[in-house]
Amino acid sequence: MGLFKKYVNQTRKPEGFLGKLMVDGMNGGHAKLADWGMSHLRGITPETIAELGCGGGRNAAELMQRYPQAQLTALDYSPVSVEKAKALNAAVIEAGRCTVLQGNVAFLPLEDASFDLATAFETIYFWPGLPTCFAEVYRVLKPGGVFLICNESDGTDKTGLKFEKIIDGMKCYTAEEITSALCAAGFSEVRIDSHPDKPWLTVVGRK
């Protein structure tokens, strides 16, 4: 496996030195995408947030700034990502507003009906089966809770499909595929927003 392929494969589960480089890059490189996704969270004031597939923790930090009253739990299955997210959010962890956990989205170590908002930025590409994982998100959300998904690929763009072939275990989903999986998990009021100039995609479902 060439160096480039080794590096981009770190997007799935960052490990070692290359994984640390990837996490640092994702924190900055995906910021505009994530902020665009967050702009579609309209009319909610969550008190409890689950940031799933949190990577290096940048989006967790941004969510806590946007919702200063909220308690946030960030989760990732990469120890490298968890370490980075903890370091980046050390002050709010110390203040008792944030917890960072290592875990799997297919078996969330979170209580039933305990979150107002769940978010997933640039991560469902690697989730082990959308129906199973979405059902877990549904379980931990309170009635009326919101699930925000934000992807750089809409499942049809050439760049996304190119990386799908390079990165082991990656799957770029279309809006229709995401919506179908959300509905199968029990979500309703699914809303799709596409960027006017880029293949960016935001999907919001409500429990």
Q: Which percentage of the chain shows pLDDT scores above 90?
A: 75
Q: pLDDT digit string (tens) for 145-190? A: 999 999 999 999 988 888 788 778 889 999 999 999 999 999 989 9
pLDDT digits (tens, 9 = 90+) for 120-145: 999 999 999 999 999 999 999 999 99
The pLDDT of residue 30 = 76
Q: Is the pLDDT reported for residue 5 higher than 90?
A: no
pTM of the model: 0.90
- Quick one: pLDDT at residue 42? 87
Q: State residue 27's pLDDT score.
A: 59
Q: What is the mean pLDDT of residues 33-57?
A: 95
In sequence order, the 6+-apart residues with CB closer than 8 A to the CB of 149 are 119, 120, 124, 178, 201, 202, 203, 204, 205
Distances from the Cα of 152 to the Cα of 1, 3, 21, 158, angstroms = 25, 23, 20, 12
Angle (nearest 5°) at CA 175 between 172 and 178: 75
Tens of pLDDT, residues 66-117: 999 999 999 999 998 999 999 999 999 999 999 999 999 999 999 999 999 9
Q: Which fold has domain 3-206?
A: Rossmann fold (3.40.50)
pLDDT recorded at residue 163: 77
What are the residue boundaries of the structural domains of the chain, listed by start? 3-206
